[in-house]
Amino acid sequence: MNRPIPPLVGARFGDDWWQRGVIYQVYPRSFADSDGDGVGDLGGIIDHLDHLGPDGLGIDAIWLSPIYPSPGLDLGYDVADHERVDPLLGSEEDFDRLVAEAHRRGIRVVVDLVMNHTSDAHRWFESSRAGRDGPHADWYLWRDPSGSGPDGRPLPPNNWGSIFGGPGWEWEPRRLQFYFHTFMAEQPELDWRTPAVEDAQLRMVRGWLARGVDGFRLDVFNVFLKHPDLPSNPTRAGATAWDRQLHLYDRDQPDFPALIGRFRAVLDEEPGRMSVGELFDGTIETAAGLTTDRHLVFEWSLIEATWTASDIRSVIGVRESAFGAGRWPTAVLSNHDRPRHASRLAASIGAGDPDAISRAAAVLLLTVRGTPFLYYGEELGMSDVDIPSEESVDPPFSRFSPEFHLWDRSRCRTPMPWSPGPGAGFTTGRPWLRLGPDAETRNVDAQLADPTSVLSTYRALIALRAATPALQVGSLHAHPDGGGEVVAYTREIPGQVILVLLNLGRRDATWRLSAVAGESGWRPLVRTAKATAADEAIAIGATLILAPDEGLILEAVRPEA
């Protein structure tokens, strides 16, 4: 099917949007429901593009968590057909309309590709498990047993496990072989060493590019390749079965950069396309090493930091030294797998007003060097929601807890509250997952009316970033004095210096403004503890007082020539 690619209208940034822009993650089931079945859908996203676009939040691209047909055991990350849209979320036409409507507003579209595994309901796997002769026989990681146990039962080929808990090998009586799964048994691992698998994946990628998508998020990409001989991993001490192994052979293989390079080359055939790989369970150095121009890699140092000056300062330093000047980092505080940061950061210090922390964290996210990725609802300061266990919709958690080393991810995937009233403007039906208890007051309409809200702060910060090249691409310099409880850094390009101050202490902090490069003063641009920062320029030598969890962004004022 060859459809014309809808033109992109009014985009703020050109081919470097992946670097200068802000990317917003939509979890489709929870964003907005357009047909009243209680589940968010593509129509709902289209209806709310103005919340995201130039007249709203002002983001530059949306990343859609998986939209493909799926049995839903891993909520869409168990894909039954990578080339189609899940009818639960809409039709093929709805997807094309979404791309066209997003492009009409200058918003790029990034889709989530789950290429490490499929659902066991995928036709490739159904054919592969049926016997050793079919066209897909070697498309998955099949191996003979290593022997048989005292009871005669076949023994798995090696000691690899599943991160969700339990063994990584599943017996298939029809083939008399095991298949491997890093995730659930219903998510069998593809064998990327079979050339036909790579061909099929790249064909699928070209299909989405032809439909106008601008980029891809690659699920658990550093796991695609395993050691060809599948040796057992060495063991070590650890809290879960997964942590009790050194994952030498089931991820991060030396020929992976070449494989991902072939995928990237397909995107590089046209300007303006990008990808972001999800680093699965690895180090920041691995993430930086896999980063190339236009092809970003998530790493988790910010998402794992506590809300203390020492931790944030050290994470900024680690990021800067791992990525250096030549590689471009990402910045992430929340996603669909982790506790929302409005809950997590206050909990990490056992104190603080979550809304003040959300506003200050937004300053960090949108001013640190790297492409910011927002998770839907964080612009409202949404927090995790207590979900009774019988309502949990996270099978890996329900099945494998406590061996599953994550948590009940339903808590961070609850519906977006748009307005007061039943269904919170998310649905006219019964929401698939309960709304947060504060949806009546914490919603888009209420926060739009309040200039001090988390949403108003995000809008101001994103607008500032879009107008400030130093915040997009400038180098980052930590303040030489350290700063006590105040995290301080500058972002600089020739002719523009921006100073960022964040008081992460529990008391008011003072900050004496000094000159970095011959300024005559500093002009406040955004101040999170006040509705506006419409202050006069502040002279060098003046002392500022910052409230706890206050963020302040200032621009250097040059002396009159």
Question: Which chain residues interact with ligand GLC by CB under 6 A?
Answer: 74, 77, 114, 183, 219-220, 278, 336-337
Tokens of 287: 């993430």
| SS3 (DSSP) at 442 | coil
Active site (annotated) includes residue 219 = yes
Residue (17 or 375) nearer to ligand GLC, CB:
375
Interacting residues of 422 by C-beta distance below 8 A, sequence separation 6+ = none
Minimal distance, residue 208 CB to ligand GLC, in Å: 18
From the candidates 151, 229, 269, 536, which is the catalytic residue? 269
Q: Give the CB-nearest residue to ligand GLC.
A: 77
Closer of 74 and 355 to ligand GLC (Cβ): 74
Please state whether 373 falls in left (phi above 0), alpha (psi between -120 and 50) or beta.
beta
Amino acid at the residue 212: G
Q: Which is nearer to ligand GLC, 112 or 550 (CB)?
A: 112
From the CB of 504, what's the least distance to ligand GLC, in Å?
28
| DSSP one-letter string for 453-481 | SHHHHHHHHHHHHHT-HHHHH-EEEE-TT
Q: Tokens representing 69?
A: 């047909």
Closest separation in Å from C-beta 336 to ligand GLC: 6
Residue with tokens 């888009």: 444
Whether omega for the bond prior to residue 173 falls within 30 degrees of 0, making it cis, is no
* Active-site entry in 170, 219, 250, 311: 219
In the numeric block, which tokens belong to residue 108? Answer: 């790029």
Cβ-based nearer residue to ligand GLC, 120 or 219: 219
Residue 26 CA to residue 376 CA, distance in Å, equals: 6
Amino acid identity at 299: E
Structure tokens at 150: 């005292």
- Of 294, 282, 357, give the one whose Cα is nearest residue 322: 282
Q: At closest approach, how far in Å is the CB of 181 from ligand GLC?
A: 10
C-beta closer to ligand GLC: residue 77 or 242 = 77
Q: Tokens 């979320």 label which residue? A: 89
CB of 279 to ligand GLC, least distance (A): 10
550 is known as an active-site residue? no
H/E stretch holding 499 reads strand 496-503
Q: C-alpha angle with apex 108: 216 to 494, nearest 5 degrees?
A: 100
Least separation in angstroms between CB 278 and ligand GLC:
6
CB of 526 to ligand GLC, least distance (A): 31
521-527 vs 142-143, strand pairing mode: unpaired
Residue length of the chain:
561
Known catalytic residues? 219, 269
